[in-house]
């Protein structure tokens, strides 16, 4: 039984290139058994070939030439689940199980960007209530 | 056998190779709604039209009055606003969280275009200290020179100065891109945590001092490196990105990016971990 499960996971395994945490452990990290720093490569530059139709429309609507602030958005994780960091809410927003994620980071990042824009522009965003309660002018 | 048990416990994020370490962090317990409506603007912002243009003469206005008038014009649907006679006033154009095309016919004082999220701004003059501080998104172009702390603590967007800038450019920046067509002063990228700085000219002493992460690209001479700033290899991906970004910035399109230097964090300052309090206690 355990063998079967192992095989399944192995078949889904990614090459080292696809992994987010492909850093060399420093001596300090080995000692404490904990990774120091960000959870993914924050300097990864976007691959514009992977851009989604929604993001194209968003860029056009804003009048920008490229992904602008979204270049810094990547798919990370929180509490063992894929998630995106929302800087406006200052917290991680989790990807629902119903969304199937592709195997490479560039595609995942584009999905993260699209979901984050939709989340931030939604009337259900946590800041909308805060704005109603605390807006001064 | 032990290995199999470990693999069995793997969550979705782990099995996708997203992490190998255990971290605890802040969570909002919020989930994306995949059926969310297609909306490109913040809730409650104004629906403006770039083709609807107006002028605003701020010569006899204080900065708060001018900023309120900009807000008023946006509420009427104006998407392109030309500000006449800014006369170096401080804090002009701050807190715009809207799509907007804003043009300043003159120079700005301190803290111009601070805390903005979204607008495209062109300043046909110079700017004082801390221009576009805390920029979240959008594009700000300065046609001449800028003062110190240019783009302090920006989190996103493109900030472009076609001339030269003062000291501490991009101090504490947490994202976005700063592009300088001329030279930059001392302590450029001081304590930067994320994002990218491009300097086509020379840069002063202590470049990238105490930088935690992010990338700095320099086309000219470097006065000296700051603490924990180290050279890195310029990849083809970097070069493609640089070419594209310089085109967006409308400067240095013919610049030979292959000769640029790339500076990153040496990560020797990455010393924070859960073990530290225990170690400190032991030492005491």
Q: Is A38 inside a domain boundary?
A: no
A131–B36 C-beta distance less than 8 A: no
Q: What is the mean pLDDT of chain B?
A: 89
List A residues 70-129 in contact with B (Cβ-Cβ < 8 A).
70-72, 75-84, 86-87, 89-99, 101, 103, 115, 117-126, 128
Residue pairs spanning A and B at CB distance below 8 A: 210
Chain B residues near residue A59 by CB distance under 8 angstroms: none
CB within 8 Å: B30 and A89: yes
Task: Say how far apart CA B86 and CA B66 lie, in whole Å.
Answer: 9
SS3 B5: helix
Contact B137 A128 (CB under 8 A): no
- Inside any domain, residue A16: no
B263-281 average pLDDT score: 71
* pTM tops 0.95, yes or no: no
The answer to whether B153 and B174 have CB atoms below 8 angstroms apart is yes
- A116 lies in some domain: yes
Residue position matching structure tokens 């240095």: B252
Residues of B in Cβ contact (< 8 Å) with A15? none
Q: Is the ipTM value over 0.95, yes or no?
A: no
Q: Tell me the pLDDT tens digit for each residue of B134-176.
A: 999 999 999 999 999 999 999 999 999 999 999 999 999 999 9
User: Which domain, by its residues, includes A114?
Assistant: 44-125
Q: Distance, in angstroms, between B156 CA and closest chain A CA?
A: 4
Which residue is it, tokens 């992010």? B214
Low-confidence ranges of chain A (pLDDT < 50): 1-23
Which pLDDT does position B4 carry in this prediction? 43
Q: Is residue A10 part of a domain?
A: no
The rounded distance, in Å, linking the Cα atoms of B132 and B158 is 10
Query: At residue B11, does pLDDT exceed 90?
Result: no
- State whether CATH 3.40.250.10 applies to domain B45-283: no
Torsion sign across C-alpha atoms B96, B99, B102, B107? positive
- Identify the CA nearest to B136 among candidates B95, B180, B184, B81: B95
A8-47 residues touching B, CB cutoff 8 A = 9, 12-14, 18-21, 26, 28, 31-40, 42-43, 45
Looking at the structure of chain A, the number of domains it has is: 1
Q: Give the start-to-end residue ranges of the domains of chain B.
A: 45-283
Distance CA A120, CA B40 (A): 9
Q: Looking at the domain assignment, is residue A28 inside a domain?
A: no
Q: What is the rounded distance in angstroms from the CA atom of residue A80 to the CA atom of residue B148?
A: 42
CA distance A60 to A55: 9
The pLDDT value given to residue A37: 61
């Amino acid at each position: 039984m355990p063998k079967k499960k192992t095989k399944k996971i192995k078949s889904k395994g990614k090459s080292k290139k696809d992994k987010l945490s492909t850093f060399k452990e420093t001596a300090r990290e080995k000692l404490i058994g904990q990774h120091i720093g960000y959870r993914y490569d924050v300097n990864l530059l976007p691959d514009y070939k992977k851009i989604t139709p929604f993001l194209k429309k968003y860029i056009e609507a804003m009048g920008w030439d490229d992904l602008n602030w979204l270049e810094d958005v990547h798919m990370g994780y929180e509490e063992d689940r894929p998630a995106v960091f929302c800087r406006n809410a200052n917290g991680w927003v989790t990807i629902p199980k119903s969304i199937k994620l592709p195997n490479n980071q560039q595609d995942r990042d584009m999905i993260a960007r699209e979901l984050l824009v939709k989340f931030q522009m939604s009337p259900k965003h946590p800041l909308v209530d805060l704005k109603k309660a605390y807006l001064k002018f | 056998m032990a290995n199999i048990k470990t693999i069995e416990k793997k969550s979705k994020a782990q099995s996708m190779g997203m992490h190998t370490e255990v971290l605890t962090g802040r969570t909002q317990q919020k989930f994306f709604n995949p059926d969310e409506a297609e909306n490109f603007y913040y809730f409650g912002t104004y629906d403006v039209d770039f083709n609807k243009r107006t002028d605003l003469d701020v010569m006899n206005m204080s900065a708060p009055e001018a900023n309120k008038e900009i807000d008023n014009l946006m509420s009427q649907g104006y998407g392109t606003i030309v500000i006449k006679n800014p006369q170096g006033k401080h804090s002009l154009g701050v807190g715009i969280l809207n799509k907007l095309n804003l043009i300043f016919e003159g120079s700005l004082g301190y803290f111009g275009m601070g805390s903005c999220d979204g607008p495209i701004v062109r300043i046909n003059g110079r700017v004082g200290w801390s221009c576009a501080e805390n920029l979240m998104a959008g594009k700000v172009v300065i046609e001449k020179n800028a003062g110190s702390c240019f783009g302090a603590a920006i989190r996103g967007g493109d900030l472009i100065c076609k001339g030269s800038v003062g000291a501490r450019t991009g101090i504490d920046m947490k994202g976005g891109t700063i592009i300088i067509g001329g030279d930059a002063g001392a302590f450029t990228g001081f304590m930067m945590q994320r994002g990218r700085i491009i300097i086509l000219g020379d840069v002063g002493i202590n470049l990238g001092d105490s930088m935690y992460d992010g990338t700095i690209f320099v086309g000219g001479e470097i006065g000296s490196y700051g603490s924990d700033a180290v050279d890195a290899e310029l990849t083809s991906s970097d070069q493609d990105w640089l070419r594209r970004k310089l085109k967006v910035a409308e400067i240095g399109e013919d610049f030979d990016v292959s000769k640029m230097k790339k500076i990153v964090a040496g990560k020797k300052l990455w010393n924070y971990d859960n073990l530290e309090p225990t170690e400190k206690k032991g030492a005491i």
